[in-house]
């Protein structure tokens, strides 16, 4: 009998292979006293290991900058910051001096304190930094003991890595040809390890809790990072099915890739524009390869992952890179959407009881106006290099758009005075992801140059269901009649008010919803590349009229389960290759 464990998809794909259980070997920490006359030598030993560790991190950083990108390499800047933090170094030296204990023990004790302080914190981003600190600790201790740490780059055969957790430096040094995929017990979507896996295109599932205790060295494992499952010691049947599935996916991908250059129009000639969603600039090439017609959502949170805030120049350079790459196609840069489940390391003192209903996105930006102005200036500067649109997340009142526009106008004045070029007519749009924005869209339309519907949040705010709660996940369904009514309403209002509309929530990129969205009247979809080809294939095989009929049928139903069954039944029948 096989065993199936589920987890969070950190990087998509399916792989089958032999497991290598990677023991991030718990360092052995000796504890002994140092004689007075040897104290300075012990401090010297500590300093040497510190230097060696810094060198190692810098080497990894350079490697990553060469093989991937500077942004990815920057992930290790926070490692270096901890290593170079004078408070930590002073503390270690004075503790060695006064407690007269060996460096390994003191360093480990300081690390445990740091980790304990972070462990109780609710913020996912900060908790993820524990792994960065453990990474440094392990390296320091290995260097003190002159033990080379086990490294993933030494692996000689094709394996699937199973580990409690992986440090960013583990992931960064992986040999893509040998490491087919990895699975970890810990970790979340925002961990540096997950971001790195996506950039390296290594399929990965994290946060599985129990995989390391269920897998033994050499076990056969299927990593299904399409559905989020790890299958341990699959049966002959499962293996056969998955091999078939992989073949099908490859065949489908090849077939679908052929339609890249074909127009994205329905059989009755209705054009449906497909744009891309990106979280890090590294994704832009993939989006272009898929022939997307620009970027409909460029999330800017990646710039704010580290403790230090990105300055105007850094932001400008990052935006400019993407804007120039796509010019003349549009790039829609969304201002910071911090709060909720997203990082805010510099806002940690203000923990909120209901972060999703709290100081999130535009609310945060308006509260931290300096930060907002810096971002707006850098977006405006990038607008001189191509087709930039600026988008404000989580607008819930008209005042928020008016204030945002006024601040933008002031930033424009400043730039004009400084003779810095920018696009005077840059479109400023809003995310429509809160019910108030739909109900009052006619009013908001006076101040918004475009609308983009964020269904990920719209569903949670319409149904009062926390989008990240596993416990009530069964209630989170975009097919609820209330959500469909909202979607229909925003399409109608945007038509009536003549405001361009697009949709950029996850459902825009899920083929099982494509007919529904066309039928509701959406004509511009923004999505990640995962199912772009499939969505296009569906667009090219339907008529807008049949999609409208389908929507009519669905919207006459009551229960969400009925709507879902009917829609998926139709989709399965029309597109047997779809996995629903
Ligand atoms: C959304 O809410 O649908 C959206 C696209 O934004 P995010 O997932 O970043 O909140
Ligand atoms: Mg959102």
What positions carry a catalytic annotation? Answer: 192, 504
- Pocket test of ligand 1: the residue of 505, 524, 525, 527 to mutate, having most ligand atoms within 8 Å of its CB, is 505
Which of 391, 454, 478, 490 is the best mutation target for the ligand 1 pocket, counting ligand atoms within 8 Å of the beta carbon and taking the most?
Answer: 454
Binding site membership of 337 for ligand 1 (Cβ less than 6 Å): yes
* pLDDT of 88 above 90: no
- pLDDT at res. 437: 98
Complete domains list, the chain, with CATH? 3-23+150-247 (3.50.30.10), 36-144 (1.10.274.10), 258-429+443-455+508-574 (3.20.20.60)
pLDDT over 70 percentage in the chain: 92
More confident residue, 76 or 488: 488
Between residues 309 and 297, the one the model is more confident about: 297
Across 145-149, 411-415, 456-460, least confident range: 145-149
Q: What is the mean pLDDT of residues 67-73?
A: 74
Residue 384 is given by DSSP the state: G
Confidence of residue 353 (pLDDT cuts 50, 70, 90): confident
Give, rounded to a whole angstrom, the gap between the first and last alpha carbons of the chain: 25
Q: Sorting pLDDT into bands at 50, 70 and 90, what band is 4?
A: very high
DSSP secondary structure string for all residues of 492-505: HHHHHHT--EEE-S
What's the rounded mean pLDDT across residues 337-346?
A: 64
Ligand 2 centroid, distance to 375 Cα (angstroms): 18
Average pLDDT of the residues in 530-544: 92
Ligand 1 atom 6, closest CA? 454
Cross-strand partners of 367: none
* 579 has a pLDDT exceeding 80: no
The answer for residues whose C-beta is within 8 angstroms of residue 116's C-beta and 6 or more apart is none
- Pairwise pLDDT comparison (534 vs 125), residue with the higher score: 534
Q: How far is the CA of 566 from the centre of ligand 1 (A)?
A: 26
- Average confidence score pLDDT of the chain: 89
Residue 24 has pLDDT above 90, yes or no: no
Stretch 544-566: mean pLDDT: 98
| Local structure of residue 271 (DSSP, 8 states) | B
369 Cβ contact list (under 8 Å, min separation 6): 407
From 139-148, 177-186, 204-213, the region with the lowest mean pLDDT: 139-148
Per-residue model confidence as pLDDT tens digits over 112-136: 888 877 766 666 666 667 777 888 8
Write the DSSP symbol of residue 20.
E
CB-ligand 1 contact for 455 (6 Å cutoff): yes
Contact 277, 506 (CB under 8 A): no
Q: Write down the pLDDT at residue 550.
A: 98
- The confidence score (pLDDT) of residue 31 equals 83
Q: Is the pLDDT of residue 384 over 60?
A: yes
Q: Which two tokens stand for residue 563?
A: 């709507």
Whole-number pLDDT of residue 403:
98
> How far is the C-alpha of 249 from the C-alpha of 16, rounded, in Å?
14
Rg (alpha carbons) of the chain, rounded to whole number: 26
- What pTM was estimated for this model as a whole? 0.72
44-53, 139-148, 223-232, 403-412: least confidently modelled range: 139-148
Candidate ranges 130-144, 151-165, 293-307, 311-325; pick with highest mean pLDDT = 311-325
Q: Which ligand is nearest to the CA of 505?
A: 1
Q: Which stretch of 212-226, 438-452, 460-474 has the lowest confidence by average pLDDT? A: 460-474
Count of other CB atoms within 10 angstroms of residue 362? 24
Mean pLDDT over residues 541-554, rounded? 98
Closest ligand 1 atom, residue 454 Cα: 3
The CA 16 to ligand 1 mean position distance, Å, reads 32
Residues 255 and 248: their CA atoms lie apart, in Å, by 10
Atom index in ligand 1 nearest the CA of residue 457 equals: 2
Q: Residue 112 has what pLDDT?
A: 85
Q: Compute the C-alpha angle 465/455/330, nearest 5°.
A: 150
Band of residue 560 on the pLDDT scale cut at 50, 70, 90: very high
What pLDDT, in 10s, does the model give residues 247-292?
988 887 787 778 888 999 999 999 999 999 988 787 788 899 889 9
The alpha carbon of 318 and the centre of ligand 2 are apart by a number of angstroms equal to: 22
Q: Indicate which residue's Cα is closest to atom 1 of ligand 1.
A: 454
pLDDT of residue 205: 94
Mean pLDDT, residues 48-74 taken together: 83
Contact 504 CB / ligand 1 (< 6 Å): yes
394 C-alpha vs ligand 2 centroid, how far in Å? 7
Residues lining ion ligand 2 (Cβ < 5 A) are 433, 454, 457
Residue scoring higher pLDDT (147 or 461): 461
**Which ligand places an atom closest to the C-alpha of 503?**
1
What pLDDT is recorded for position 126? 65
Residue 461 makes CB contacts below 8 A (sequence gap 6+) with: 433, 434, 435
Q: What is the mean pLDDT of residues 361-381?
A: 96
Q: What percent of the chain has pLDDT over 90?
A: 59
User: Comparing 37-46, 118-127, 218-227, 404-413, which segment has the lowest mean pLDDT?
Assistant: 118-127
319-327 mean pLDDT: 97
Lowest mean pLDDT, pick from 1-5, 104-108, 173-177, 437-441: 173-177
């Amino acid at each position: 009998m096989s065993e199936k464990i589920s987890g969070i998809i950190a990087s998509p794909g399916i792989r089958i292979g032999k497991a290598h259980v990677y023991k991030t070997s718990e360092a052995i920490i000796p504890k002994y006293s140092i004689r007075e006359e040897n104290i300075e030598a012990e401090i010297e030993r500590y300093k040497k290991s510190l230097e060696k560790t810094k060198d190692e991190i810098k080497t990894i950083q350079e490697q990553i900058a060469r093989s991937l990108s500077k942004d990815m390499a920057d992930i290790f800047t926070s490692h270096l910051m901890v290593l170079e933090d004078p408070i930590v170094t002073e503390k270690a030296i004075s503790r060695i001096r006064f407690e007269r204990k060996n460096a390994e023990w003191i360093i480990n004790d300081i690390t445990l304190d740091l980790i304990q302080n972070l462990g109780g914190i609710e913020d996912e981003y900060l908790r993820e930094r524990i792994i960065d600190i453990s990474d440094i600790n392990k390296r320091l201790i290995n260097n003190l003991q002159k033990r080379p740490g086990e490294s993933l780059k030494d692996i000689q055969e094709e394996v699937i890595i199973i580990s409690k957790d992986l440090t960013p430096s583990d992931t960064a040094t992986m040999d893509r040809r040998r490491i087919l995929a990895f699975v970890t017990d810990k970790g979340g979507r925002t961990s540096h390890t997950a971001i790195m896996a996506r950039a390296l295109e290594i399929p990965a599932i994290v946060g599985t809790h129990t995989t390391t205790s269920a897998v033994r060295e050499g076990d056969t494992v299927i990593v299904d990072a399409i559905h989020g499952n790890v299958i341990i010691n699959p049966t002959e049947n499962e293996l056969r099915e998955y091999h078939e599935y992989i073949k099908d996916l490859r065949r489908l991908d090849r077939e679908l890739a052929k339609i890249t250059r074909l127009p994205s129009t329905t059989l009755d000639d209705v054009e449906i524009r497909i744009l891309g969603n990106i979280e890090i600039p590294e994704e832009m090439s993939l989006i272009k390869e898929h022939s997307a017609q620009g970027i409909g959502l460029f999330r800017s949170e990646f710039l704010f992952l580290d403790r230090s805030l990105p300055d105007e120049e850094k932001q400008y350079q990052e935006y400019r890179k993407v804007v120039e790459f796509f010019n003349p196609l549009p790039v829609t840069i969304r201002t910071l959407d911090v709060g909720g489940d997203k990082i805010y390391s510099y806002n940690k003192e203000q923990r909120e009881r209901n972060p999703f209903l709290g100081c999130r996105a535009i609310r945060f930006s308006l509260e931290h106006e300096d930060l907002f102005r810096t971002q707006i200036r850098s977006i405006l500067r990038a607008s001189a290099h191509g087709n930039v649109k600026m988008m404000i997340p989580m607008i819930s009142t008209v005042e928020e758009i008016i204030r945002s526009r006024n601040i933008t106008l002031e930033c424009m004045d400043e730039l004009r005075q400084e003779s810095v070029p920018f696009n005077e007519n840059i479109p400023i749009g809003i995310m429509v992801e809160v019910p108030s924005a739909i109900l009052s869209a006619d009013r908001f339309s006076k101040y918004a140059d475009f609308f983009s519907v964020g269904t990920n949040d719209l569903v949670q705010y319409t149904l009062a269901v926390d989008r990240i709660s596993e416990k009530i996940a069964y209630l989170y369904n975009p097919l609820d009649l209330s959500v469909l009514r909202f979607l229909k309403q925003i399409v109608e209002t945007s038509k009536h008010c003549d405001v361009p509309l697009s949709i950029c929530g996850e459902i825009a990129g899920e083929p099982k919803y494509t007919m529904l969205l066309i039928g509701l009247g959406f004509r511009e979809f923004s999505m990640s590349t995962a199912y772009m080809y499939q969505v296009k294939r569906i667009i090219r095989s339907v008529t807008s009229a049949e999609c409208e009929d389908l929507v009519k049928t669905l919207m006459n139903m009551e229960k969400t389960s009925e709507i879902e069954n009917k829609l998926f039944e139709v989709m399965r029948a029309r597109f047997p290759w779809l996995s629903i």
